[in-house]
């Protein structure tokens, strides 16, 4: 399969039904994408597929053929959301953080509080109670 | 040495590992791999009670290694308190999902597909903690004479309250990797275990006993940990033992990471409770006698039940004063997976009962819930149920009054009550209510616990500052950051110049487990003393100058009990904790009159925690713990059938999402504890004590007389008139 992964062309030889999550973690050595439940409930494995957030544990590799894919590693380290999550306590244990930040990227700039709540409803966080995540996104 | 550094304590400095966490660079256990890595899978019992008759591997065994109890070189126990739990079952089975053997293979797909047939001779299980003949622990607390207290009462109020199981649901499941060889100075003997955990030295001790190895041949290294909440306090000793046995048998590294279903089915949960209160009270609302009886369901093995019960019983009377108190508690055995540590550790259960009961007392007397608490709240100089005389660092009335003021509680309560009038009944407007809870939480280990632990912490001088050596783990709460702030100020160097060593038993002393709201108050204070001594040794020299002149410098200090603290473990009397945090929650709820679904619509909490070392981190603990408490109250329902959790998936066990969590107003108050670093007390656990009683009190105000959590629509429907 061919895809654009974090802005770079990649060619991968993987089973078409392999979970995209495992392709990223095992075949591409991108371990920033996390597995929390393996059933599409927690959002820890969120990546952006052609700009839209998907649970990579539910996406077979074949679906990403020809797509633009972004993982947390593709965001670099200086994105305004990344900095805001550190400054405002949006990241505690950090296991939901990569997925949470990518879901927030998909909301676009300056989302309303309601848009954040709805947009992140598929990303579970057990540490923060979400308030610090809202503050991080709104102040990014 | 000049101390021009800006103070770090009280400032929101950047979290030490923040950048690694937001870039995906932080390495959690499942992100690690080793050459020659094998994978393991745990084969577990499918019956709740009985004997193993026969174990058969079905199919081709090529490439598989089987590990069972015969492979254990030391004692077959998960060493903790009672040493009653086998690491791998030999014959007897006490619960569903009890580990029996391990399969090891390099190919995870083959491992998943492998089948093992186990024949059993089942026996009759017991699921009722009240009729169980086996008590892991019983505790009695007596103060004054309850008979005298009841004789002085005008009114006696009885109540029975129940709480359910709760799953910690850290988003990173339990996992470890065991590697043969202890690695220190190239050691090929022994074992190294990497893993997601709260207490590396608990794992270290358990492995020594299981494997029959000396301390220096066992090395335990915590990896970045994706949440714990108590769920990674004792369980990692079990999973580390399994992986270590497999690694020693195969001579290769072995990874054992649970999937979500296995983690929910097999690992510990919060103890369910049944608590009965009988309270004597005068007509004007003063408590004259409190008689409390509590049963915790311990599950199949003792784990930490004895100490969960202890904290639960010490908090059972709530933050209220009464001269005559009798508390009886026991934690008993049932044939369900063992229950264990979960944030709050018994106190959320007993304070749920105490504070729901307080509202029922108010109702019976025709007093408002604020007034009855104002009359009875513990003041400085009062004594608790264990006879501990409270100092000036206690703040029950202050948090109560602040919460009442901030929420305009009395006015709001009248307004909501009138919105539930007869004209509204049957209409498609929700029933609404507001409730509050008052609570406290002891910081540190109970009673003589800290003296027995005798925790040590070390500080090593570096060219630019110092390096912290502790076994206290960063599990999201901010341990590295908060400890570095305390050390930076005590040493007089910038926060950025303090490094924190990995929690690696090969390199750090045993600073005790990362539990019991103790890391800041207890370990932080030991480190502060290390830094103060180091500063004295440096004198006018910079760290670099000192190292050049005198060579390396490491200061190690041990816990010292504050003067005057006394505890009698036999009578359960005395100073149960060095200090307490104090909290008051106010919650508003809406109940759909057709579906009985409850929505928490507003939440305010006032927390007095001594001193917020890092306000953003403290706020994170309070908001996050409160959200878990709201989940405990309303959503989180572990459904057990025939001793097995039937909803062991995130699809069916519901924790709060962003849409379920109300806006939170948090008010931080500071009333310093003289023996805490900069006055700090604990903060980690207390936030989960308050939400459940506040929710149930709000539901009562909305017209639903429920005395049990979780308050699911089914339960509310059952009490709806």
CA nearest to B689, candidates B324, B267, B353: B353
Q: Quick check: B23 contacting A, CB < 8 Å? A: yes
CA-nearest residue of chain B to A29?
B31
Are the C-beta atoms of B395 and B582 separated by less than 8 Å?
Answer: yes
Q: Is A36 on the interface with B (CB under 8 A)?
A: yes
d(CA A3, CA A13): 11
B225 touches chain A (CB under 8 A): yes
Distance CA B653, CA A126 (A): 13
- pLDDT of B238 reads 98
Average pLDDT value over all residues in chain B? 97
Question: Does B263 lie at the interface with A, CB-CB under 8 angstroms?
Answer: no
Closest C-alpha to B173, from B106, B231, B243: B231
Could you give the dihedral angle defined by the CA atoms of residues A126, A131, A137 and A138, in that order, rounded to the nearest 10 degrees?
170
pLDDT digits (tens, 9 = 90+) for B210-238: 999 999 999 999 999 999 999 999 999 99
Instruction: Tell me the nearest-neighbour CA distance from A2 into chain B, angstroms.
Output: 23
| Least Cα separation, residue A8 to chain B (angstroms) | 18
Smallest CA–CA distance, residue A93 to chain B, in Å, is 3
A115 touches chain B (CB under 8 A): no
Chain B contact present for A88, CB below 8 A: yes
Helix, strand, coil tally for chain A in percent (to 5): 35, 15, 50
Contact check, Cβ <8 Å, A96/B171: yes
* Predicted local confidence at residue B428, as pLDDT: 77
Nearest neighbour of B19 by CB, restricted to A86, A88, A133: A86
- Extract the runs of DSSP E, i.e. beta strands, from B146-227: 155-163, 175-180, 191-195, 218-222
Nearest Cα of chain A lies from the Cα of B629 at a distance, in angstroms, of: 10
Residue of chain A whose Cα is closest to the Cα of B629: A129
Q: Which residue has the higher pLDDT, B418 or B477?
A: B477
Q: Could you read off the pLDDT of B113-154 as tens digits, one per residue?
A: 999 999 999 999 999 999 999 999 999 999 999 999 999 999
Span B657-695, pLDDT tens digits = 999 999 999 999 999 999 999 999 999 999 999 999 999
CA distance B305 to B331: 6
Beta-sheet pairing, B155-163 with B99-105: unpaired
Q: Each residue of B575-608: b (16+ CB within 10 Å) or e?
A: bbbbbbbbbbbbbbbbbebeebebebebbbbbbb
A1 touches chain B (CB under 8 A): no
B499: enclosing H helix or E strand: strand B498-500
CATH of domain A2-74: 3.10.20.30
A95–B171 C-beta distance less than 8 A:
yes
C-alpha distance from residue A96 to each of A35, A128, A130, B342, B475 (Å): 9, 10, 11, 20, 13
Q: With an 8 Å Cβ cutoff, is A62 touching chain B?
A: no
Peptide bond into B710 cis (omega under 30): yes
Looking at residues B292-312, what average pLDDT do you find? 98
Q: Is B627 on the interface with A (CB under 8 A)?
A: yes
Q: What is the pLDDT along chain A (140 residues), one digit of tens a residue?
A: 999 999 999 999 999 999 999 999 999 999 999 999 999 999 999 999 999 999 999 999 999 999 999 999 999 999 999 999 999 999 999 999 999 999 999 999 999 999 999 999 999 999 999 999 999 999 99
Residue from B184, B210, B191 nearest B254 by CA: B191
Residues of chain B with pLDDT > 70, as a percent, come to 98
Which residue, chain included where needed, has tokens 């190292």? B547
Using CA atoms of A70, A73, B503, B441 in order, give the dihedral in degrees to the nearest 10: -50
By the CB < 8 Å criterion, does B14 face chain A?
A: yes
Nearest CA in chain B to A102: B22
Coil, strand or helix: which one is B654? coil
According to the model, what pLDDT value does residue B419 have? 87
Q: Do A92 and B478 touch (CB under 8 A)?
A: yes
In chain B, the domains with their CATH numbers are 18-26+455-558 (3.30.365.10), 32-125+169-266 (3.30.365.10), 135-167+269-446+573-719 (3.30.365.10)
Q: Of the candidates A22, A39, A36, which has an alpha carbon nearest to the alpha carbon of residue A100?
A: A36
Please answer yes or no on whether A126 and B626 come within 8 Å at the CB atom. no
Residue B501 contacts A where some CB pair is shorter than 8 Å: no
A-chain CB neighbours of B476 within 8 Å are: 92-94, 127
| A2-74 against A75-138: fold identical | no
Subunit contact A129:B627, Cβ cutoff 8 A: yes
Residue B420 has pLDDT above 90, yes or no: no
A123 and B658 in contact by Cβ < 8 A? yes
Is residue B334 within 8 Å of residue B128, measured between CB atoms?
yes
Best interface-test mutation with B: which of A43, A93, A101, A111 has the largest number of B CBs within 10 A? Answer: A93
Q: Which residue of B has its CA nearest to A85?
A: B22
Element (H, E) at B461: strand B456-461
Helix (H) or strand (E) holding B277: strand B273-281
Chain B segment 457-476 residues within 8 A of A by beta carbon are: 475-476
SS (H, E, C) B129-166: CCCCCCEEEEEEEEECCHHHHHHCCCEEEEEEEEECCC
Among chain B residues, CA nearest to A71: B24
* Residue B522, phi-psi category: left (phi > 0), alpha (psi -120 to 50), beta (remainder): alpha
What's the pLDDT at B5?
61
Helices within B366-478 (DSSP H only): 369-376, 396-407, 409-419, 449-453
State whether residue B259 sits within 8 Å of chain A by CB.
yes
Is B266 near chain A, with CB under 8 Å?
no
Q: Is the pLDDT of residue B521 over 80?
A: yes
Whole-number Å distance between alpha carbons of B512 and B522: 10
Q: Is B664 on the interface with A (CB under 8 A)?
A: yes
- B254-257 vs B175-180, strand pairing mode: antiparallel
The CATH classification number of A75-138 equals 1.10.150.120
Q: Which residues are within 8 A (CB) of B518 and not within 5 positions of it... i.e. 6 or more apart?
A: B443, B444, B445, B450, B512, B682
Among B523, B508, B501, smallest CA distance to B453 is for B523
Among B92, B77, B101, smallest CA distance to B238 is for B77
d(CA B446, CA B293): 20
Closest CB from A32, A41, A96 relative to B651: A41
**The residue to which tokens 């149920």 are assigned:** B385
> Among B503, B480, B523, which Cα is nearest to B614's?
B480
* Closest-CA residue to B114 (of B53, B69, B71, B55): B55
Element containing residue B437 per DSSP (H, E):
strand B431-443
Structural domain boundaries of chain A? Answer: 2-74, 75-138
- A86/B169 touch (CB, cutoff 8 Å), yes or no: no
Q: How many CB pairs under 8 A join A and B?
A: 166
Strand order, beta sheet including B598-608:
B431-443, B579-591, B598-608, B664-669
pLDDT band at residue B2 using 50, 70 and 90 as cut-offs = very low
CA atoms within 13 A on the CB side of B403: 33
CB-nearest to A86 from B14, B24, B31 is: B14
Of B25, B171, B475, the CB nearest to A42: B171
Beta strands in B298-416 (DSSP E): 325-332
Q: Which residue from A minimizes the CA distance to B261? A: A37
DSSP calls for B51-115 = EEEEEEEES--TT-EEE-GGG-SS-SS--SSS----SS-SSEE-STT-EEEEEEES-HHHHHH-E
**Measured between CB atoms, does A30 come within 8 Å of chain B?**
yes
- Distance, in Å, from the CA atom of B461 to the CA atom of B498, rounded to the nearest integer, reads 9
Of A60-64, B173-177, B417-421, B493-497, least confident by mean pLDDT is: B417-421
User: Cβ–Cβ of A127/B24 closer than 8 Å?
Assistant: no
Tell me if chain B has a CB within 8 Å of the CB of A70: no
> Are B650 and A95 a contacting pair at CB < 8 A?
no
CA distance A23 to chain B (A): 13
Beta carbons of B226 and A121 less than 8 Å apart: no
* Residue B4, pLDDT above cutoff 60: no
Q: Give the chain A residue nearest B617 (alpha carbons).
A: A89
Q: What does the alpha-carbon distance between residue B402 and residue B604 come to, in Å, rounded to a whole number?
A: 10
B22/A97 Cβ within 8 A: yes
A93 touches chain B (CB under 8 A): yes
Q: Three-class SS of residue B713?
A: helix
DSSP 8-state class, residue A25? I
Query: CB of A80 within 8 Å of any CB in chain B?
Result: no
8 Å CB contact between B400 and B372: no
> How close A66 comes to chain B (CA, Å)?
24
CA A26-A31-A37 angle, to 5 degrees, is 90
Chosen for mutation from A75, A89, A113, A135 (greatest number of chain B CBs closer than 10 Å) is: A89
- pLDDT by residue (tens digit) across B35-59? 999 999 999 999 999 999 999 999 8
Three-class DSSP category at B657 = coil
The separation between the first and the last C-alpha atoms of chain B, rounded to the nearest angstrom, is 73
Q: Is the pLDDT of residue B440 over 70?
A: yes
**Residue B400 and residue B122: Cα distance in Å, rounded?**
53
């Amino acid at each position: 399969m061919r895809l654009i992964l974090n802005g770079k062309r990649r060619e991968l030889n993987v089973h078409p039904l392999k979970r995209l999550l495992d392709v990223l973690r095992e075949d591409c050595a991108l371990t920033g994408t996390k597995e929390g439940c393996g059933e599409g409930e927690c959002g820890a494995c969120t990546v952006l597929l052609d700009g839209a957030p998907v649970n990579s544990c539910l996406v077979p590799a074949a679906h990403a053929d020809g797509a633009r894919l972004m993982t947390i590693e593709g965001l670099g380290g200086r994105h305004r959301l990344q900095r805001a999550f550190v400054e405002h306590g949006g990241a505690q244990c950090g296991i939901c953080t990569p997925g949470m930040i990518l879901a927030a990227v998909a909301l676009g700039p300056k989302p309303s509080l309601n848009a954040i709540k709805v947009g992140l409803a598929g990303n579970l966080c057990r540490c923060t109670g979400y308030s610090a995540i809202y503050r991080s996104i709104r102040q990014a | 040495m000049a101390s021009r550094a800006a103070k770090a304590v009280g400032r929101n400095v950047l979290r030490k590992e923040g950048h690694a966490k937001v870039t995906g660079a932080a390495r959690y256990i499942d992100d690690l791999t080793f050459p020659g890595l094998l994978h393991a899978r745990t084969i577990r019992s499918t019956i709740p009670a009985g004997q193993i008759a026969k174990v058969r591997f079905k199919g081709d065994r090529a490439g598989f290694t089987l590990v069972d109890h015969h492979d254990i070189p030391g004692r077959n126990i998960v060493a903790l308190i009672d040493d009653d739990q086998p690491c791998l079952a030999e014959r007897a089975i006490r619960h569903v999902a009890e580990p029996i053997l391990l399969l090891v293979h390099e190919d995870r797909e083959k491992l998943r597909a492998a089948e093992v047939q186990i024949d059993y001779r089942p026996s009759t299980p017991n699921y009722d903690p009240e009729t169980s003949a086996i008590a892991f622990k019983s505790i009695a607390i007596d103060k004054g004479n309850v008979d005298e207290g009841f004789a002085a009462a005008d009114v006696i109020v009885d109540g029975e309250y129940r709480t359910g199981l709760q799953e910690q649901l850290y988003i990173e499941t339990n996992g470890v990797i065991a590697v043969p060889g202890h690695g220190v100075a190239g050691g090929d003997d022994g074992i190294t275990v990497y893993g997601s955990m709260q207490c590396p030295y608990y794992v270290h001790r358990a492995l020594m006993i299981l494997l029959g190895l000396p301390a220096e041949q066992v090395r335990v290294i915590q990896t970045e940990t994706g949440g714990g909440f108590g769920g990674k306090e004792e369980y990692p000793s079990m999973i580390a033992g399994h992986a270590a046995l497999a690694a020693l048998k195969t001579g290769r590294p072995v990874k054992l990471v649970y999937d979500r279903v296995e983690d929910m089915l097999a690992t510990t949960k919060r103890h369910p409770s049944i608590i009965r209160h009988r309270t004597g009270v005068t007509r004007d609302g003063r408590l004259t006698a409190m008689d409390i009886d509590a049963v915790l369901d311990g599950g199949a093995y003792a784990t930490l039940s004895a100490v969960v019960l202890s904290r639960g019983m010490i908090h059972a009377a709530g933050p209220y004063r009464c001269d005559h108190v009798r508390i009886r508690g026991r934690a008993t055995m049932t044939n369900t997976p063992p229950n264990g540590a979960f944030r709050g550790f018994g106190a959320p259960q007993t304070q749920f009962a105490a504070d729901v009961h307080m509202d029922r007392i108010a109702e019976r007397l025709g007093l408002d819930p604020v007034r009855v608490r104002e009359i009875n709240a513990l003041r400085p100089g009062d004594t608790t149920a264990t006879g501990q005389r409270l100092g000036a660092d206690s703040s029950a009335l202050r948090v109560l009054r602040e919460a009442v003021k901030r929420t305009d509680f009395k006015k709001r309560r009248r307004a909501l009550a009138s919105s539930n009038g007869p004209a509204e009944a049957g209409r498609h407007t929700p029933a609404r209510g507001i409730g509050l809870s008052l609570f406290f939480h002891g910081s540190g280990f109970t009673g003589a616990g800290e003296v027995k632990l005798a925790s040590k912490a070390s500080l090593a001088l570096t060219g630019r500052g110092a390096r912290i050596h502790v076994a206290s783990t960063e599990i999201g709460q901010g341990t590295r950051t908060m400890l570095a702030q305390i050390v930076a100020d005590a040493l007089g160097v910038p926060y950025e110049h303090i490094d924190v060593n990995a929690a690696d038993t090969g390199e750090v002393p045993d600073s005790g487990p990362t539990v019991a709201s103790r890391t800041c108050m207890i370990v932080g204070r030991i480190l502060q003393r290390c830094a103060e001594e180091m500063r004295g040794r440096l004198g006018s020299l910079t760290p670099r100058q000192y190292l050049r002149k005198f060579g390396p410098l490491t200061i190690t200090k041990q816990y010292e009990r504050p003067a005057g603290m006394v505890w009698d473990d036999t009578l359960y009397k005395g100073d149960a904790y060095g200090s307490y945090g104090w909290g008051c929650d106010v919650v508003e709820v809406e109940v759909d009159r057709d579906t009985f679904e409850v929505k928490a619509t507003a939440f305010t909490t006032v927390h007095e925690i001594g001193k917020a070392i890092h306000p953003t981190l403290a706020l994170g603990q309070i908001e996050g713990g409160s959200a878990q408490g709201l989940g405990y109250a309303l959503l989180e329902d572990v459904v057990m059938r025939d001793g097995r959790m039937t909803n062991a998936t995130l699809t069916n066990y519901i924790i709060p999402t962003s849409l379920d969590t109300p806006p939170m107003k948090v008010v931080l108050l500071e009333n310093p504890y003289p023996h805490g670093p900069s006055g700090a007390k604990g903060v980690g656990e207390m936030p989960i004590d308050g939400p459940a009683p506040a929710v149930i009190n709000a539901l009562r105000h909305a017209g639903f007389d429920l005395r049990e959590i979780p308050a699911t629509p089914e339960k509310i429907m059952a009490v709806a008139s």
